[in-house]
Amino acid sequence: MNMSEFIASMPKAELHIHIEGTVSAAKVLELAYRNGVDIPYATEAQLLAAQDYGTPALKNFLDYHYMCSSVLRTGQDVFDITREFLNRCLVENIRHVEMFFDPQQHIEY
């Protein structure tokens, strides 16, 4: 067994992960379209390129994160991103997940 196979087969843990931060570029586009949310990116490649946060990194990261979170509008959206994440966990042999959901981002005042 080579090192890549060994790492792929070993059990893993995902500690302190916010489900909103796991949404894939494809899912962001899908949910934006489904929910009629206008985002500044039209392709997966553009979304992935936007993850090069540059400077100021924290501000750019948070802007990107909140934009991705803005496409989550329904319980079905949260279900869909959770299912997508847990399916990736299965593929990557992740056996333990410490997952968080941030409801404050989804509450209108």
**What's the predicted TM-score (pTM) here?**
0.87
Identify whether the C-beta of residue 95 lies closer than 8 Å to the C-beta of residue 14.
no
Quote the pLDDT of residue 105: 77
- The per-residue pLDDT string of the chain (109 residues; one tens digit each, 9 = 90 and over) reads 899 999 999 999 999 999 999 999 999 999 999 999 999 999 999 999 999 999 999 999 999 999 999 999 999 999 999 999 999 999 999 999 999 998 887 777 6
Q: Where are the alpha helices (DSSP H) in 1-109?
A: 3-9, 25-35, 44-49, 57-69, 75-91
Quote the pLDDT of residue 90: 96
